[in-house]
Structure 1
Amino acid sequence: MPDSPTDGATTSRRPTEQSTPRAAHQWRIWFVIVPALIGVVLCAAGALLVTPTSDGGFPAYLCVIIGGWAVGFALVNALSAWPERWQWGGHVALALGAIALLASTTPLIRTLGSLPEPWPRSLSVVALGIPPAGGWVLITLLGRISGRFDRAAERRAAALAEPTWSGADRRPEVTVNAARFTTAALTALAVGAVVVVGALSAVVVIVTERWLLRLPPLMIVVALGLFVGMPVYAAIWGVVNSRRLPVTLRWHTGALVVDAEDRWTVPYPMIQSVIWRSQGDTARFEVHPATRSETFLVGMVRQQNGKASQLPPLMHRMRRVLEESGLRPHERRGTLRYTRSAPTNTVSGSGAPPSALG
């Protein structure tokens, strides 16, 4: 989403406080006045294409769709001449007006039918330009809000301390808050979330069909995200944090030690796979030996002492130990996976034991 009232192609050319009056004037001409005039001309052209025997067909429809969008584009860009705080108020006012117009488009077209000819057919075609204009106003407001949240999140993230490895060189460790899951429980949570989102979306569409289907397709997606997706995400966040507990991961010589309510020691040759993701909502580490599997989700879990909800990257010595124990690395989209090509049935495994971390 764009973080300004215009799209990404024009953001870099918007006037700023440092812009010269001439540059600001030129910008207003090309990105406010010209689009507004083009929009009015196209809407008028669409109306003129309508005749007593024809509704203008596709050319008239295309003219008013593009013309409506151009008018909305110009209205949003016009806000750039205002102070920042007034831009927000103006954009919200435009959005409220757009919602009112979108909700009344169909009744308006019916009302226009009572006017004397040739006005009903021509004005009804022009009214079809309301959805693209209103849709652009709403989408850019969402982009402005999203940009504000993104910048605030970036500032908060920059202020958070990243977790780091501590302890002796031969026994590095890290302590974080994590939610403990089995693989089956985590899969059930993900599948359940998908089912709930799908069911709630269907219910919302059925109950609000009369109003929802008047919105542009993209705005329907946005509405479902706000009223269905975000509450479900909040519920998942609550479930995950209800399992929050301090977890300490220690890389000892010959074994991986996990302290989470109880101590779990896994010799490296017994590990079938290790999954490590440092950042994002799915930041986690997974340890899968032959007899037990544990997943420790960190990315959605609230941390203490102002720390970021993430994991430190694996150190080179840790990677080497895993590889020397017979695990092969595969990295994709920020997720590092170590998997064993052949099952290991003994604690010692085959071949030489992995070297110490030092």
Structure 2
Amino acid sequence: MSESPASVAPSASERPVLVRGPALIAVLLLAAGVAVTLLTEDLGIAQFLLLLGGGWCAGFSFVNAVEQMPRNGLVLHLAVTIVLAAILVTVITSGSALIESVPEPLRGVLLTLNLAAIPATGWIVLGLLGRVTQGLRRREEARRPLRAVPDWQRDDSGDGSIVAFTAIEMPFRALTRAIVWIVVLVGALAVVLLIAFSDIVLHFGARLSIIVVGVVLALPAYSILTARLRRRTVACTLALGNDEVRIDVGGAASVIRYSRLDHLLWREKSDYARVEVRGAGTDISLLVGIATAAPGVAAELPPLPRRIIRRFEREGLVRTVKRRGGGVEFRRTDRQGSAE
């Protein structure tokens, strides 16, 4: 769930929004930060947060822009990184002498923009490192043997096919709520710390804020969440027979006849790979993508057999391909279901 800036691959329709939107927000935040700083002739915590956010949005917009360039995107990314890093090093090493040589009206603008340039440069550097590491990772994965995806086998104990996998029994909405709570709590704690230690933060600059929020707060919080969830990983089997679905979750077995099946969601890949089954008073949600997989096995699910898809449709279940997030969903429009 946690990715480097360059590892995120937005769709073609999302990319322009991820460039224009953050760029516009960056302009508004930076303009407000510069204006308030020049009017008050003071750099308080409000101005600091405006400039910090504006600089980050500017860097975020630039990284997404160069990633979608068909040619020379990496060259431009590298060139801008070198130029910005050289400017920051020059300003830091020269102290206040370089800025004091600039006329007064422009001096205040440069001072504030220099503060905003720190998070912008930091995000651009992270994006460049992400692109490099992603390229190296792809080369390494190309040489590494692929992990096997769980496959359907003939069910010896009954009719149909069976697949074995590991999963965490947990509703997906509960996982979503946990992530949202982490974001809210970490964000609130970061704001409290920035305000409480405003003198220290302003003294050390935006780099300390990025380190505190990203490394000291957000990363440990996410690591603790995933580690606690993975402890709940259990061995599961799911069998699709001629007339029923049989599920075993850590030794607890459930059987739902297709005539009583109300809902089935099947997502094969990504961190959100999962299966959700509901009907006949049973409601099971198994998170596969974030569970600890067996050695040599991918944390994925195989595609549903075509015979099962046709069987579900004959039972009156309406199939929907989930565009957002992928997967396929079967839902009975008649909530009462048919008689068994």
TM-score (norm: length of structure 1): 0.59
The reply to whether residue 162 of structure 1 matches residue 146 of structure 2 is: no
Secondary structure, aligned partner of 2:153: coil
Matched, 1:304 2:290: no
- Structure 1 position 301, deviation (Å): 0.9
The answer to whether the 8 Å contact 2:276/2:285 transfers is yes
Q: How many residues align?
A: 258
- Which residue pairs with 1:247 in the alignment? 236
Partner Cα separation in structure 2 for residue 144 and residue 237 of structure 1:
27
> 1:231 aligns to what?
220
Residue in 1 that maps onto 2:268: 278
CA contact (8 A) 2:182 2:222 kept: no
Q: Are the counterparts in 1 of residues 264 and 330 from structure 2 also a CA contact under 8 Å? A: yes
Asked if the contact 1:269/1:344 (under 8 Å) is kept, the reply is no
Deviations 1:28-74 (A, max 9, x none): xxxxxxxxxxxxxxxxxxxxxxxxxxxxxxxxxxxxx9xxx9xxx9x
The equivalent of 1:337 in structure 2 is 329
1:163 Cα deviation from its structure 2 partner: 2.0
Residue 326 of structure 1, CA deviation:
1.5
> What SS does the aligned partner of 2:154 have?
coil
Cα displacement (A) at 1:343: 2.8
Partner SS, residue 161 of structure 1: coil
2:131 matched to 1:147? yes
Instruction: Determine which of 287, 297, 301 is the counterpart of 2:277.
Output: 287
Q: Which moved more, 1:296-305 or 1:187-196?
A: 187-196
- Within-5 A mapping of 1:106-185: 108=96, 119-131=103-115, 133-151=117-135, 154=138, 155-156=140-141, 159-167=146-154, 171-181=160-170, 183=171
Alpha-carbon distance change, 229 to 125 in structure 1, aligned in 2, over 3 angstroms: closer
Query: Within 1, Cα distance between the matches of 2:129 and 2:209?
Result: 17
Q: Closer, same or farther in 2 for the Cα pair 1:227/1:314, shift >3 Å?
A: farther
CA separation of 1:79/1:286 partners in 2, compared to 1, >3 Å: closer, same or farther? closer
Structure 1: gaps spanning 5 or more residues? 4-64, 82-89, 349-358
- What amino acid sits opposite 1:171 in the alignment? G
**What CA deviation, in whole Å up to 9, does each residue of 1:303-344 have, x standing for no partner?**
113111111111211111111112111112212110001134
The 3-state SS of whatever aligns with 1:150 is helix
Amino acid at match of 1:343: R
* Cα RMSD, aligned residues only: 4.3
CA contact (8 A) 1:98 1:135 kept: no
Shift of 1:176: 0.6
Report the CA distance shift for 1:315/1:347 in structure 2 as closer, same or farther (over 3 A). Answer: same
Q: State the alpha-carbon separation in 1 of the partners of residues 89 and 318 from structure 2.
A: 55
SS in 1 for 2:312: helix
Structure-2 change in CA distance of 1:78 and 1:147 (3 Å): closer
**1:228 to partner: Cα distance:** 3.9
Letter in 1 for 2:252: D
- Cα distance between partner residues in 2 of 1:307 and 1:135: 39
Could you say what secondary structure the match of 2:219 adopts?
helix
| 2:178 equivalent in structure 1 | 192
**Larger radius of gyration, structure 1 or 2?**
1
SS at 1:322 equivalent: helix
Structure 2 stretches of 5 or more lacking a match? 8-54, 60-65, 67-73
Relative distance call for 1:284 and 1:123 in structure 2 (3 A) is same
Distance (Å, rounded) in 2 between the aligned partners of 1:256 and 1:132: 57
Task: Say whether the 8 Å CA contact 2:119–2:210 is kept in structure 1.
Answer: no
**1:324 to 2:308 alignment:** no
2:211, 2:273 → 1: CA distance? 26
Q: Percent identity?
A: 21
Question: Given residue 330 of structure 1, which amino acid in structure 2 is its aligned partner?
Answer: T
